[in-house]
Amino acid sequence: MNETRKGQWIYYSLNVEDKPYIQAIMGYLPSLKEKIDQIKNDCD
């Protein structure tokens, strides 16, 4: 796990390269990229 501090915020990230079971689970999670792109387009 990595930790990055920016002001009062702490961002955490996981190293999943050596954990195929986590990669498999993440493959089932929905991506929000399309929804975020749609919201951005609606705001323009």
Per-position DSSP letters for the chain, written without gaps between them: -EEEEETTEEEEE---TT-HHHHHHHTTSPP-HHHHHHHHHHH-
Domain of residue 28, residue span:
2-43
- pLDDT on residue 31: 83
**pLDDT, tens digit only, all 44 positions of the chain:** 789 999 999 999 988 888 899 888 888 888 888 888 888 888 87
- pLDDT on residue 10: 94
- pLDDT on residue 37: 86
Q: Is 5 exposed, middle or buried (0-12, 13-18, 19+ CB in 10 A)?
A: exposed
Q: Does the predicted TM-score (pTM) go above 0.75?
A: no
Burial of 13-40, coded b for 16+ CB within 10 Å and e otherwise, reads eeeeeeeeeeeeeeeeeeeeeeeeeeee
Domain count for the chain: 1
